[in-house]
Copies of this chain bind each other. A is one copy, B any other.
């Protein structure tokens, strides 16, 4: 029997935990970011949802550049910490060793297995949040996180967040192959 969930602020999809990197008034800043997805296939684009009150929103509007960094599960504590304190109040620039790619205001975290360098294409202003649509300029990783030259989730070991229970989860067992498992139902066509 279906029922309406009273809290429409659905959070319980597992979101991949990432860390947003920006330049906030000239200083490197980081913020835990969960609401992120792809927004366009070609050219490759991404979108990041940031509360208007967060320092990272003004940073992105100012520099029009940012990074999305994917931490391993062994970076869980420091990742969570970036979401506990505001860049307005605390200098988080020393938390990580960083590097830069093509963009001057998209600091990327060396220790993160995957780094996505982004140039703002379109800031969509919504009531309480900005949804920052951006072009993916480059993706960076290290050989040890790749298989056949491609990022390998079992080597990267990302983790996901569910809310409102506010728990982090590892990625579990492989349960099937996409664009393949459903072929058994093709007889219905």
A contact set with B: CB distance below 8 Å: 1-16, 18, 35-47, 49, 51, 70, 73, 76-85, 90, 95, 99, 101, 110, 114-116, 121-122, 124, 126-129, 131, 133, 136-143, 146-147, 149-153, 156, 158-186, 188-189
CB distance from A96 to the nearest CB of B (A): 12
Residue with the greatest number of chain B CB neighbours at <10 A, chosen from A79, A160, A164:
A160
- A35-B39, A37-B49 given; A174·B185 CB < 8 A: no
Given contacts A7-B139, A80-B179, 5 further A-B contacts (CB under 8 A): A5-B139, A42-B127, A90-B189, A124-B124, A160-B160
Assess the A84–B179 pair: CB atoms within 8 A. yes
21 interchain pairs, CB-CB under 8 A:
A1-B143, A2-B115, A7-B139, A8-B139, A10-B38, A15-B16, A37-B37, A37-B49, A39-B126, A41-B128, A76-B175, A76-B176, A76-B181, A84-B186, A95-B188, A153-B169, A166-B179, A166-B180, A169-B173, A170-B171, A170-B173
Residue with the greatest number of chain B CB neighbours at <10 A, chosen from A13, A18, A39, A124:
A13
- A133-B124, A169-B173, A171-B160 given; A49·B43 CB < 8 A: no
Assess the B169–A175 pair: CB atoms within 8 A. yes
User: Which residues of chain B have C-beta atoms less than 8 A from A79's C-beta?
Assistant: 182
CB distance from A20 to the nearest CB of B (A): 13
User: Which residues of chain B have C-beta atoms less than 8 A from A40's C-beta?
Assistant: 49, 126-129, 131
